Amino acid sequence: MVGGGQLARMTHEAGIPLGIKFKLLSDTPQDSAAQVVSEVVIGDHRDLDTLRDFARGCDVITFDHEHVPTEHLRALEADGIPVRPGPDALVHAQDKGVMRAKLDEIGVPSPRHRIVKDPADAAAFAREVSGAQRLDEGRWPGDGRAGGFPVILKTVRGGYDGKGVWFVRSEEEARDPFLAGVPVLAEEKVDFVRELAANIVRSPHGQAVAYPVVESRQVDGVCDTVIAPAPDLDPELAGQAQQLALRVAKELGVVGHLAVELFETTDGRILVNELAMRPHNSGHWTQDGAVTSQFANHVRAVLDLPLGDPRPRAKWTVMCNVLGGDYPDMYAAYLHCMARDPQLKIHMYGKDVKPGRKVGHVNTYGDDLDDVLERARHAAGYLRGTIVE
């Protein structure tokens, strides 16, 4: 597995019962997965020679991030190393411009969008989108927002957890995204009720499974809470989301786990926001809430083994991320959380505690959603130090 973060750590854990020999390419020995995997190579995933040396002796290569250069993955394939997901699929998670173009081609609904070259071009896009929205709503294009803003600007590569994404209200505010010197994607600001995620896993021979569609709640651009299944989601819309994710995986040739992040709009539609081709934060609930976790199914998929049952074990499962705060004494926090809730599942990543950093997550489950939510939020807050009783 290329990448030494918490996703690699938990994927390794899922492979242990199967006796899978796990080899890791990590940036540093302190990375989350490097602390627990026995065979660790320290190196730069951007260096082709390092990748080639690492890949020797591996039956298959997979990832806990999307940052390996596409051309390097093609070189590994040319060397005869199975890469899953392959470069032709993974590029759609690496490059938002490529993703949007492909989704348009296959007819998957997305926010209105365009690659823009400078702040003035972003302002022109804002006016175009504003006019189109007014016409869709049966109003004159001149009504409403001055200049068409706000819009969303994204660097096409490298963004995650709110990084590389700007909510801009004017041409002046649109300057910062262009400073990085990479292409910028402009998207309309979508009026949405909530964010959803459809998680599926697909194997090389085309077997695929779909997990229940979940609600994902964000705080400051970072996933805070995931509720499985999404409360009060129309069953027909949930089915559409699962079918959409399965179709995207097939059309793009995805092997392994695919997370399709979605907007549920105010007018009852779903639009694709982002794609991730690896285990994903919106699927962490499956560790304790599904018959087969996203991590176990990702391992099965990349090894072309039969996939496991994705069905939930309980009526409700809630995942809350634990962010670092000013409270590094996790052992003392464990005493409280475990005594208060013996059913609580705590997953910590072995990271140094820093304010705002994802250092772990908790899972709770049960039949009463309010109770399950309260238990998860209390535990995550206590582990962070924002709740002290």
Please name which of 323, 327, 316 lies closest in space to residue 370, comparing C-alpha atoms: 316
How many Å apart are CA 131 and CA 140, to the nearest integer?
8
> Is the CB of residue 202 less than 8 Å from the CB of residue 254?
yes
> Is the CB of residue 295 less than 8 Å from the CB of residue 13?
yes
8-state DSSP, 68: S
* In the chain, alpha helices (H): 6-15, 48-55, 70-78, 87-94, 96-106, 119-136, 235-252, 286-289, 294-302, 330-340, 369-384
What is the distance of C-alpha 190 from the center of its chain?
19
Looking only at the bridges linking them, the beta strands covering 151-155 and 192-202 are: unpaired
Q: How far is CA 94 from CA 44, 57, 157, 165, in A?
A: 18, 26, 6, 15
Binding residues: 96, 154, 187-190, 195, 273-274
How many Å apart are CA 290 and CA 257, to the nearest integer?
15
Binding residues for ATP: 96, 154, 187-190, 195, 273-274
